Amino acid sequence: MKNQYDIVIIGGGPAGLAAAVSAYDSGVRDVLILERDEQLGGILNQCIHNGFGLHTFKEELTGPEYADRFIQQVRERDIPCLLNTMVMDISPDRVVTAMNRCDGMFQIQAKAVILAMGCRERPRGALNIPGYRPAGIFSAGTAQRLVNIEGYMPGKEVVILGSGDIGLIMARRMTLEGAKVKLVAELMPYSGGLKRNIVQCLDDYGIPLRLSHTVVDIEGKEHITAVTIAQVGADRKPIKGTEERYTCDTLLLSCGLIPENELSTAAGVQLSPVTNGPVVNESLETNIPGVFACGNVLHVHDLVDYVSEEAAKAGAVAAKYAKGEIAQADGKEIALHAESGVRYTVPVTIHPDRMDDKTVVRFRVGDVYKDSFVSVYFDGERVQHKKKRIIAPGEMEQIILTKQSLDDHPDLQTITIKIEAE
Amino acid sequence: METRELTCINCPMGCLLTVEMDGDTITDISGYTCPRGKTYAEKEVKNPTRIVTSTVKVTEGEKERVSCKTEHDIPKDRIFDVMEAINAACVEAPVVIGEVLIRDVAGTGVDVVATAHVGRKH
């Protein structure tokens, strides 16, 4: 087995696939994808609903169809993939240690590594729900896998905590398969899911969405038999006297996603406390030279189309790096600051000498803003001021910085992005 | 006169739309803040349709199920008829993406097609 590659990509989901295609098309033929599942495509394989690819392909595809488009592109280019292969370690000098049933444990030296491991769901243990720990409590994504891939129904009477998109999608999916979904409870006063999903997954089937509500008790010793939900105040603490009990045999949790960065951390990659993903520069490069990140491992995206777009950029830059065409990051570095409603930015720094003509800066906000402005400041000077009818936490936002505008401000130290009322 | 309340799905604004109906005739639409909202409301009250996605049982396959969709949207009030037909169906592997699994599902004139590949069990 070959033990040296120009580019090794960790993960064969939407990010890894798009990064591989882009790296190949940027002139690097020596690319390897490592995937722990038995097939490529990642989480898209169980997202059988439609609505993917409107930006990328100008049509509405299901998850498996969207994945297949990219898998075909990988196959056409004969890019090698090792399936059923678990990466155990990435060293700071880019030695990737992995294992599988055929080859056992092996090491590969990469010129560049692309992190594309995706994210996972916030588990019950991270939610601090009181009550017993019976069977019948699943993350929404686990239920999705059971129903859509394995063909099993987790239960017939369902309560869902959290109104993330996977929870909404599963409310409809379980209903279509004959279950009674009693309600979706959401701790926040707004849903983190897309409006389209609230209408087409809940309203269409008369499933109530209870905002500012959470689960305060779980009953059942062997198997879950009921939950109690209660309203929460502005402090997100339950309000006494608002408790309601619902019998159920299933509780699904859709309470957020966390980038999966155990490998990154072990490699010494610096993470952002806000996104839980790597801190990257304009090249989507982490603090470790030659290690790049894209997709949900970097920050959780709303649409897969943006994952593909970001991953294509990571693939192209990694290719440049592997070919030795990228300047060392020792030139001037400009910091990006997220302020007043903007929770984070990706990237966090920009080297003007290394950036393309345009750099996309992606971010999310922490609250719902109506008729507000997204403003960009170059030090004290406001250079962008764009009115938005609505900005919501569930949707990713972006601004575009041009190399020209940065070159026009040679003394620029800090770029600030903020939400302004006027 | 009948009043119907809808939430527009075109953007995160989620405008609350109110449609006044006189029988099958729309007499008034209010609450929209852009033209897309008006178009959406008209379609939703006159002819609401949806794409249905689910899975079909597979025999002799390397997987138990194959994901599927109605090739086009079907009337919203036929969703559960379509689901019943999908759940009654069974297909023998191999299945290729785009392959028709059920013709003219539940008399809607729309086919159900596979949205994934499933190879034959080795």
ipTM for the whole predicted complex goes beyond 0.95: no
If asked whether residues B79 and B103 sit together in one domain, one would say yes
Cβ within 8 Å, pair A390-B11:
yes
Q: Is B8 on the interface with A (CB under 8 A)?
A: yes
pTM above 0.90, yes or no: yes
pLDDT of residue A393: 86
Residue A303 distance to chain B (closest CA, Å): 14
Cβ within 8 Å, pair A50-B64:
no
Task: Find out whether A385 and A373 touch, Cβ atoms under 8 Å.
Answer: yes
Q: Among A62, A195, A196, whose Cβ lies nearest the Cβ of B115?
A: A62
pLDDT at A328 over 70: no
Q: Is B65 on the interface with A (CB under 8 A)?
A: yes
Please list the helix, strand and coil fractions of chain A in percent, rounded to the nearest 5, in that order.
Answer: 25, 35, 40
Question: CA angle, A288 as apex, A284 and A293 as ends, to 5°?
Answer: 30
CATH class of A123-255: alpha beta
Task: Find out whether B73 and A157 touch, Cβ atoms under 8 Å.
Answer: no
Q: How far apart are CA A224 and CA A245, in angstroms?
A: 13
Q: How far apart are CA A243 and CA A237, in angstroms?
A: 12
**Residues B76-91, mean pLDDT to the nearest whole number:** 96
The position carrying tokens 């990642």 is A42
If asked whether residues B68 and B85 sit together in one domain, one would say yes
pLDDT of residue A352: 87
Domain range for B82 is 53-114
Q: Is residue B120 part of a domain?
A: no
Q: Mind listing the pLDDT tens digit for each residue in A194-242?
A: 888 999 999 999 999 999 999 999 999 999 999 999 999 999 999 999 9
Residues 181-240 of chain A whose Cβ lies under 8 A from any Cβ of chain B? 194-196, 198-200, 203-204
Cβ within 8 Å, pair A390-B64:
no
Q: Is B49 on the interface with A (CB under 8 A)?
A: no
Cβ within 8 Å, pair A48-B115:
yes
Cβ within 8 Å, pair A198-B53:
no
| Cis before A347 (ω within 30) | yes
Number of folded domains that form chain B: 2
Q: How far apart are CA A268 and CA A89, in angstroms?
A: 11
Cβ within 8 Å, pair A196-B57:
no
What CATH architecture is A1-120+257-326? 3-Layer(bba) Sandwich (3.50)
Q: Mind listing the pLDDT tens digit for each residue in B17-74?
A: 999 988 888 899 998 888 888 999 988 888 899 999 999 999 999 999 999 999 999 9
For A211, list phi and psi in degrees, rounded to 5.
Answer: -75, 160
Q: Is residue B90 part of a domain?
A: yes
Q: How far apart are CA A77 and CA B59, in angstroms?
A: 32
If asked whether residues B74 and B101 sit together in one domain, one would say yes
